[in-house]
Structure 1
Amino acid sequence: MTGRELVTKAVLFQGPERVPYTLPEEFGSDMIGTGVGPDPAWKPSFLPTDTKWEDEWHCVWERLSGDISKGQVTGHPLKSYDDFDSFQWPNFKIPERYKNMKEAVKNNLQDKFVIASIDFSLMHRLEYLRGHENAWTDPYLESENLCKLLDKLATLANDQVDMVAEAGVHGIVSADDLGFQDRPMVSPEIFHKFFAPFYKKVYQHAREKGLLCFLHSCGYIIDLLDDLIDAGLQVIQMDQQENMGLENLGRRFGGRICFWCPVDIQKTMNYGSIEDVKNYAKKLIDTLGCFNGGFIAKWYPAPDAVGHTKEKIKAMCETFISYGSTFYKKSKS
């Protein structure tokens, strides 16, 4: 099977020949990543520096000198909903944004799964635009305006869905960290009422276009997965599992959603031995991939930021490949 076939069958529980994976270059990958490019005509309102800059949403970002992180938003352009109607939203219908994406599809001679990153996050973007305090009080104080904003974000995401589908990619992915370490960022009730309907608006539209739907989300999000699955999400990219319980995830959601995971980046990859890493990699496949699919192996692509050693990365990748190569053959025998 090609990479595209392996990933698709894993996501749809249709029996891939082996566990698909996205690993460092020396180990290989069944996917090609691409994304929506910047607006070539957009100009920031001030000259950017290494420590302060503006994005296309007019959010101002800052970080300390020498900081390698993405920084944080310090300028929130939609603090007042009075500015909503006059707000200058990004234009995602510009063909130039998708030029590199079309090239990636054209050059995909090995028939790998092409996944396109789109600018779609409800919780992050709400915070960036409105500010932290406003974001968390909007469900109670500005519920009508909140729904209006979330609907606009979903509409802009669907503009991208239309364009990436036309480009010929196979799936979409976006990032929205929905959890703290031990609980969701919002209550399941608030998530169900305000956020889930707009995830559904995007995921249903994408699936109608023939795209598979992926979401990266960190933290304790197990209490939100039912709503995300009902909304149409097909793959959850989850770098942590141990804070929610791997067996718990498999028992409640195995066979209902595909998991795209590395060995837990905060616990086993940091504090476990080489043997622990190998055993956990096997356990991921055993627990989440035993549904005629349902698991895609990956690595964490910023290992220095989280203290992962080369030895543990090698052990994880080799185990994913060797154990995953025969996993479905064994299950059929």
Structure 2
Amino acid sequence: QSNYEERTLTTPGFFEDYVKCPDPKRVEDFDWPDPTKYMNAADCKAAVTSVPQDYAIMGVLWSAHFQDALAAFGMEKALVAMLKNPKMFQAVIDRITDFYLTANDIFLKATEGLLDCVLIGNDFGGQKGLMVSPRLIQKFVLTGTKMLIDQAKEFNVKVIHHSCGSIHPLIPDLIKVGADAIHPIQALAADMDAQTLKRDFGDQTSFCGGVDAQFLLVMGQPTEVSTKVRELKKIFPTGLIFSPSHEAIMPDTKPETIEAMFSAIKS
């Protein structure tokens, strides 16, 4: 439509000039987007009712307040701001959190009683460990995460929290703020193998993923995929939603390994 406007905070460097600004109140000078202008409750409900109703239905709220804050400053300058100008970084991430709370309120009210779970998330991990220390995540991020989770649970839905990478040290915090499941098990990331996660957290939360999308589904043989699925079934007799170890089947995945994965899950 000609009157449709699209803006994003994920364009790198939105707040680049704010990194050294001493006054967090300057954040309010920015023309923040208002989700009430762009979200239509009827469209939200229609999107949910249009999908098959004989499966669990998940609403992808995403709500990546940390990732958006990193993008708003630019990654490098955001990391500097967390240490050199923490009040400014906090002001920006709080304002982004407010945006998502408002947007999610519209969606959750429109779809009340229709959803089984929602997905929210931020990417905290790389292949070998967290991108920043647990202390910084606890300081800047988890309060907003808890607000988003608490809001969703007011509508009687389960909350799945996404983060790629090696996030083992952060999982206790995600459980503490209310995550019902952790997505995904990125199988080849450090300390994210299924046995370790089941041992350390299997009685506290559930998991999604575990079928390696970095190598196995791309380069492996169907028989190897079937073997891995059977192994995961033994490790997780309950508490696992089977899926690739990313939020989707990646473009370079072979059709025959996808078929092998689903066949082994159903068998």
Do both share a fold (TM > 0.5)? Answer: yes
Distance 1:298 1:245, change over 3 A: closer
2:14 alignment partner in structure 1: 77
Deviation at 1:104, TM superposition (A): 3.0
Q: 1:218 aligns with which of 164, 186, 192?
A: 164
Write the mapping of 1:31-50 to structure 2, written as runs, cut at 5 A.
Answer: 41-43=3-5
Equivalent residues in 2 for 1:173-192, closer than 5 Å: 173-192=119-138
Change over 3 Å in CA distance of 1:303–1:140 after alignment to 2? closer
Report if the CA contact (8 A) 1:158-1:206 is conserved.
no
2:78 aligned with 1:135, yes or no? yes
Q: Which moved more, 1:236-245 or 1:222-231?
A: 236-245
Superposition deviation, residue 298 in structure 1: 2.4
1:296 equivalenced with 2:241 (yes/no) = yes
Aligned-residue offset at 1:136: 0.8
Contact 1:175 1:216 in 2 (8 A): yes
Cα distance in 1, alignment partners of residues 59 and 73 from structure 2: 27
SS in 1 for 2:145: helix
- Residue 221 (structure 2) aligned to one of 273, 282, 290: 273
% same residue: 23
C-alpha distance in structure 1 between counterparts of 2:54 and 2:40, whole Å: 23
Are 1:252 and 2:200 an aligned pair? yes
How far 1:197 moved relative to its partner? 1.7
- Name the CA distance, whole Å, in 2 between partners of 1:242 and 1:152: 35
Secondary structure at the counterpart of residue 213 of structure 2: coil
> Residue type matched to 1:240 in 2?
Q
**Cα-to-partner distance string for 1:133-152 (whole Å, 9 max, x where unaligned):** 22111221111222222222
Aligned to 1:56: 8
1:311 alignment partner AA: E
Q: The residue matched to 2:126 in structure 1 has which SS?
A: coil
Aligned residues of 2:185 and 2:194 also touching (Cα < 8 A): no
Farther off after superposition, 183-192 or 239-248: 239-248
TM-score normalised according to structure 1 size: 0.69
Distance 1:260 1:100, change over 3 A: farther
Gaps in structure 2 of 5+ consecutive residues: none
Equivalents in 1 of 2:130, 2:3: separation in Å? 38
Q: Could you say what secondary structure the match of 2:160 adopts?
A: strand
| Matched residue, 1:126 | 69
Q: Alignment partner of 1:184: what SS?
A: coil
- Listed as ranges, the gaps of 5+ residues in structure 1 are 1-38, 45-54, 61-72, 323-333
**1:239: how far off?**
5.3
Tell me how far 1:209 sits from its aligned partner: 2.6
Q: Which of 147, 153, 156 matches 2:96?
A: 153
TM-score under structure 2 normalisation? 0.84
1:114 partner amino acid: I
TM-superposed CA distance for 1:107, in Å, is 3.6
Structure 1 residue 96: Cα displacement:
4.0
- C-alpha contact 1:116 1:171 (8 A) present in aligned 2: yes
- 8 Å Cα contact 2:67/2:122 also seen in 1: yes
Q: RCO greater where, 1 or 2, for CA within 8 Å and sep 6 or more?
A: 1
3-state DSSP of counterpart to 1:265: coil
Q: How many equivalent residue pairs?
A: 254
Q: Residues of 1 paired with 2:130 and 2:85: CA distance?
A: 21
How far does the alpha carbon of each residue in 1:77-125 deviate from its partner, in whole angstroms, 9 at most, with x for none?
A: 1123355111122222347444332113334563432222225113311
8 Å Cα contact 2:130/2:167 also seen in 1:
yes
1:310 aligns with 255
> Alpha-carbon deviations, 1:192-216, whole Å to 9, x = none?
2222222112111211232221222
Aligned partner (choices 191, 194, 197) of residue 143 of structure 2: 197
Q: How does 1:104-115 map to 2 (within 5 A)?
A: 104-108=47-51, 110-115=53-58
- Structure-2 residue corresponding to 1:320: 265
